């Protein structure tokens, strides 16, 4: 191999390496910025496609253009009604301006630290203006929309767009859970005692009403029975008197026989004269 051929091969190799060093490709899911001696070049990021840079002088940094996740650690927040609650939140965000993002944070972890500070601060500020019941049940969606808007406005100048901030779950601190559980148990016991007292009062009223109705029914039945018994005895007396008037001799004889039956028994001894009126039916 001649010297000229070797030099030509070296030149071709250098050109090939330079060409490879000059060209770079940005993926559909990425954005890129070019750095020259550590400083961004140009006023905008490069989108998907084939691009070129100065070899050995400029470097390329790629940023994900998709929506990214941020998962915060649970933290305690004091509500407007002085209740502590543990909030576990997360956020969806993306890089909209890679140049500003690189100037402010350099890396994703640096951006996440800032994002964490801003979201925590907004959650404390917004949720601290409302009570526990409103946060959990009534105004949760409205409050999170407010947190998202304020966080987005605060971070937009840093090249970050906060798409959404949400709460995964809300819990009470352990000591609060115990206190609330004890208070709920005391409240349920109070209600149970109240229901028992009301039930006993109602039962007493029902028993008193039943006793009253029973007494009225018995009194009315006794009154009617006495009336019926009196009417029967009166009819019996009347019928007996009429019968006696119709046959006085027969009833006199019958009464005498009953008197004999009751008096002359069990070896009874009676001493009387023959002309005694008691013995007139023996004559």
Q: Is the pTM of this model over 0.85?
A: no
Q: Per the domain annotation, does 198 fall within a domain?
A: no
Q: Per the domain annotation, does 201 fall within a domain?
A: no
Same domain for 87 and 167, yes or no, is yes
- Beta carbons of 135 and 143 less than 8 angstroms apart: yes
According to DSSP, the residues that pair with 164 across neighbouring strands are: 92
Same domain for 52 and 106, yes or no, is no
Between CA 142 and CA 126 the distance in angstroms is 10
Tokens 């969606």 identify what position? 141
Same domain for 31 and 85, yes or no, is no
CA angle 69, 142, 132 (to 5 degrees): 95
For residue 195, the model assigns a pLDDT of 92
For residue 273, the model assigns a pLDDT of 67
Between CA 33 and CA 235 the distance in angstroms is 128
For residue 196, the model assigns a pLDDT of 92
Same domain for 109 and 148, yes or no, is yes
For residue 171, the model assigns a pLDDT of 74
For residue 206, the model assigns a pLDDT of 93
Q: Per the domain annotation, does 114 fall within a domain?
A: yes
Same domain for 50 and 87, yes or no, is no
Q: Per the domain annotation, does 224 fall within a domain?
A: no
**CATH number of the domain enclosing 123:** 3.30.479.30
For residue 10, the model assigns a pLDDT of 63
Structural domain that includes position 142: 68-172
Q: Per the domain annotation, does 223 fall within a domain?
A: no
Of 150, 172, 194, which residue is a domain's last? 172
- Beta carbons of 172 and 133 less than 8 angstroms apart: no
- The count of structural domains within the chain is 2
Query: Pick from 64, 41, 158, 145: which is nearest to 104 by CA?
Result: 158
Sign of the dihedral defined by the CA atoms of residues 99, 103, 107, 108, in that order: negative
Q: Per the domain annotation, does 243 fall within a domain?
A: no
Of 64, 82, 97, which residue is a domain's last? 64
pLDDT per residue, tens digit, the chain (283 aa), is 576 666 666 655 555 555 556 777 888 888 887 888 777 777 777 788 887 777 777 788 788 888 888 888 888 877 777 777 788 888 898 888 888 888 888 888 888 888 888 888 888 888 888 777 777 777 778 888 888 889 888 888 888 888 888 888 777 766 666 777 778 888 898 999 999 999 999 999 999 999 999 999 999 999 899 999 988 988 888 887 887 777 777 777 777 777 767 766 667 676 666 666 666 666 5
Q: Per the domain annotation, does 120 fall within a domain?
A: yes
Of 64, 79, 98, which residue is a domain's last? 64
Same domain for 51 and 106, yes or no, is no
Alpha helices in 105-159 (DSSP H): 108-127, 132-133, 140-155
Q: Per the domain annotation, does 83 fall within a domain?
A: yes
């Amino acid at each position: 191999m001649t010297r000229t051929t070797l030099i030509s091969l070296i030149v071709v190799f250098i050109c090939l390496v330079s060409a490879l060093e000059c060209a770079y490709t940005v993926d559909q899911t990425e954005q890129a910025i070019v750095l020259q001696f550590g400083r961004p070049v140009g006023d905008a990021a490069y989108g998907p496609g084939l691009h070129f840079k100065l070899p050995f002088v400029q470097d390329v940094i790629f940023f994900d253009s998709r929506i990214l996740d941020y998962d915060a650690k649970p933290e305690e927040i004091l509500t407007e009604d002085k209740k502590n609650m543990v909030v576990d939140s997360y956020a969806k965000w993306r890089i909209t301006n890679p140049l500003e993002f690189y100037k402010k944070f350099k890396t994703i972890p640096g951006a996440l630290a800032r994002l964490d500070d801003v979201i925590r601060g907004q959650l404390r500020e917004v949720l601290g203006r409302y009570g526990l019941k409103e946060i959990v049940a009534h105004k949760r969606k409205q409050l999170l929309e407010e947190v998202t808007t304020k966080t987005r406005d605060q971070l937009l100048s840093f090249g970050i767009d906060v798409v959404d901030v949400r709460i995964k779950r809300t819990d009470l601190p352990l000591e609060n859970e115990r206190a609330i559980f004890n208070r709920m148990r005391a409240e349920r016991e109070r209600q149970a005692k109240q229901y028992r007292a009301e039930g006993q009062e109602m039962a007493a009223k029902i028993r008193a009403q039943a006793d009253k109705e029973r007494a009225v029914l018995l009194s009315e039945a006794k009154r009617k029975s006495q009336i019926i018994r009196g009417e029967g005895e009166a009819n019996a007396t009347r019928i007996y008197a009429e019968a006696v008037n119709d046959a006085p001799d027969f009833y006199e004889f019958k009464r005498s026989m009953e008197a004999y039956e009751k008096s002359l028994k069990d070896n009874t001894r009676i001493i009387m004269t023959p002309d005694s009126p008691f013995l007139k039916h023996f004559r």
